[in-house]
Chains A and B, each alone.
Chain A
Amino acid sequence: MTAVTAQSAPARRPNYKRRRVWREVAALLLALVLIIWTLAPLYNMVMVSLSSHNDVFSSNIWPADPSASSYWIVLTEGYWYLEYFWHQYANSIYIGFWTVFLTLGIGSMVSYSIGRMRIRHGWLLTNAALLTYLVPASFLAIPFYRIMQSYGLGNNVWSIIAVEVTFATPYAIFIFQQYGRSIPFELDEAARIDGASPIQVYFRIYLPLMAPALVAVGTYALLLAWNEYLYQFLLLSNKRSMTVPVALAQFLNSDESPWNYMMATAVVYAVPPVIIYYLFRGKMTAGLTMGGVKG
């Protein structure tokens, strides 16, 4: 037995080494394929945005004469479709801000009540949140459209904020409850014995200790609002109240499609969430869980 191993060992070593080289080459090849696969649509976006109108309708695969003039047009609202670009961008930011604020506020309050104060029948609320989380948002779009009219929120950005908060809060509750279990109860009790009211405990102990989860859920809520299209398309029709994605889609459906302007708009819209994502990536991995994909 030992003799056999000793004999085969020198024969095997170069073989093993060659295999390791091959594996390294295969890994690099896979990496190359992944990079092309991942970046092709993004490359196309940037390439078209740097092309002139005539170059868009050509068989170029590189921008023949790259120029940033499309970006200038977008930023100065220099095309009739982009008339209200900054207004629409502000609407997107406004919706994003309020979605984050309300999601964190409502979600942390109810999680505090269920998880820390242990309100009776709290599990009912947890289940309600979980159920909401599992209902695809697009399936409620038709009744939502009617209901928003009856609430008097037609063509109002607050109808969008209501939608985003509705679909982001369940995820917030899910994460806050999981994260909250890592905070010792003794802290709450000590503060209560020192005479702090529940609301003081909430502001002074619960929220500061939950900061990482708040950042993760806040980023999630912002990206959700920034990504969402269907409700914004259905509920906002006025040029001044609509958001950038709705304007982009209108562009797409118009007869003359100035693709270079459209792609420049797309890039300008896509950059902030990417930056925010990379800034908070570390925090997100703590909380970035099952929910992220919901669109």
Chain B
Amino acid sequence: MASVSVIDAGHPALGRRSRLRSLRGGLQGSEYAWAIAFCIPYVAVFLAFVIYPVLYGLWLGHKPSLYVELFNDPIYQQTVVNTVLYLVIGVNVKMFFALLLSGFFMRKGWWVKGLLMIYVLPWAVPALPTFISIHWMLNTQWGLINNVLWDTFHVDGPGWLDTSRWLALGSVIVTYIWKNMPFWTVILLAGRMAIPTELYEAAEVDGATGIKRFVHVSLPLLANLYLVCTLLSTIFTLGDFNTAYFISGGGPALSTHVLATLGIRDAFEIARPELGVAAVLSALPLMIPLVITLMHKLRTSEVQL
């Protein structure tokens, strides 16, 4: 094989070769075969583990009657409200604080760097151990939070996870923010660091400092990144199973499920896989526009960090 390309390289018969190259996307015989061979493993994985499950899922959830049943189910209606709250509050509060904190971490000094190392811990530690720990912290009788409330203020803390739907959902959202905020702070911090310092210097000469500098320099330059991060985070959060499952477990009385956990519950706990798939597929009207926008943004705007 190697010898062939040596001979080819030495030959002046460029006319025919370049025509062949253009025909085969710029590659010659054996090279073309290699290029195909290099793609085969990925294509195989994609067909076997993406296309097949997607088609199978669509087929499982194709009956309209499933959706009628679903929409009439009060648990499903609650779940949709929870999912929307989870996305709107969780994602936006998290992104907003991540934006502010990324500005804080731009400060100079050794202790800010040290603080950043500590601050990213929730992101570096595996999800499950910390979620189980938080679940126990929220225990009404023996949890750390209510113990602290008792020791310092002598008040009995509320039953975070087993009395009220809103307390439980709030706990899920706060845990979600705790876990994911560091990552997005680091992303936005990288975005801020990419802004040339000359811009800030020029702004300072023009008299823009503090809030003004943030609004007129940082914000316009970070806006696109912030938008892409928010959309991406929305889609990942939509698929977030672990947080709700391990913090509230959908309780009390199935009132804090989100779509990702409800789908699994329907499919495996009450053994109705079609209904579970339908619950998941009912998120498509939100997912499709998000995916299209993001495909466009990620391909064209070159979000590089």
Contact = CB atoms under 8 A, between A and B. Distances in A.
Nearest to A271: B125
A140 interface: yes
B180 A163 contact: no
Interface residues on A, range: 35 or more
Interface string A223-239: 10011011000100000
A142 B276 contact: yes
B239 A229 contact: no
B54 interface: yes
Given A30-B104, A270-B126, A288-B186, A138 B241 contact: yes
Contacts of A165: 45
B298 A117 contact: no
Given A31-B115, A144-B53, A293 B236 contact: yes
8 contacts: A44-B137, A45-B133, A114-B39, A136-B260, A138-B241, A195-B9, A227-B126, A273-B124
A274 B121 contact: yes
B150 A38 contact: no
A42 B36 CA distance: 48
The 10 closest A-B pairs by CB, nearest first: A136-B239, A120-B25, A266-B129, A113-B38, A110-B42, A143-B57, A277-B124, A45-B133, A143-B53, A166-B49
B233 A31 contact: no
A183 interface: no
Contact of B147 (A37, A59, A262): A59
B126 A118 contact: no
B129 A57 contact: no
Interface in A182-237: 192-193, 195-200, 202, 223, 226-227, 229-230, 234
B132 A269 contact: no
Nearest to B175: A41
Interface in A249-263: 249, 252, 259, 262-263
Contact of A117 (B35, B107, B238, B239): B35
Nearest to B56: A143
A9 interface: no
B26 A118 contact: yes
A4 interface: no
A73 interface: no
Contact of A166 (B45, B229, B299): B45
Interface of A: 27, 30-31, 34-35, 37-42, 44-45, 47-48, 56-61, 105-107, 109-110, 112-114, 117-122, 125, 127-132, 134-147, 151, 162-163, 165-166, 169, 173-174, 178, 192-193, 195-200, 202, 223, 226-227, 229-230, 234, 245, 248-249, 252, 259, 262-263, 266-267, 269-270, 273-274, 277-278, 285, 288-290, 292-295
A118 B25 contact: yes
A261 to B, nearest CB: 12
B172 interface: no
B133 A109 contact: no
B236 A61 contact: no
Contact of B132 (A144, A197, A252): A252
B264 A45 contact: no
Contacts of B268: 145, 234
B25 A147 contact: no
B203 interface: no
Interface in B1-48: 1-3, 5-6, 9, 24-27, 30-32, 34-36, 38-39, 41-43, 45-46, 48
B198 interface: no
Contact of A226 (B26, B46, B126, B180): B126
Contact of A270 (B1, B125, B273): B125
Interface in B161-202: 178, 180, 182-184, 186-187, 190
Contacts of B277: 142-143
A143 B263 CA distance: 11
A227 B128 CA distance: 7
B121 A117 contact: no
Nearest to B284: A139
A60 B30 CA distance: 71
B41 A166 contact: no
A153 to B, nearest CB: 11
A173 B180 CA distance: 23
Contacts of A41: 122, 130, 133-134, 137, 178
Contacts of B30: 197
B291 interface: yes
Interface in B29-81: 30-32, 34-36, 38-39, 41-43, 45-46, 48-50, 52-54, 56-57, 60
Nearest to A263: B133
Task: Name, among B107, B182, B260, the residue most crowded by chain A CB atoms within 10 Å (CB to CB).
Answer: B260
Contacts of A39: 118, 121
A142 B133 contact: no
B267 interface: yes
B29 to A, nearest CB: 12
B119 interface: yes
Contacts of A134: 235, 290-291, 294-295
A138 B126 contact: no
Given A61-B144, A198-B31, A273-B125, A125 B119 contact: no
A174 B303 CA distance: 11
A38 B118 CA distance: 8
B260 A138 contact: yes
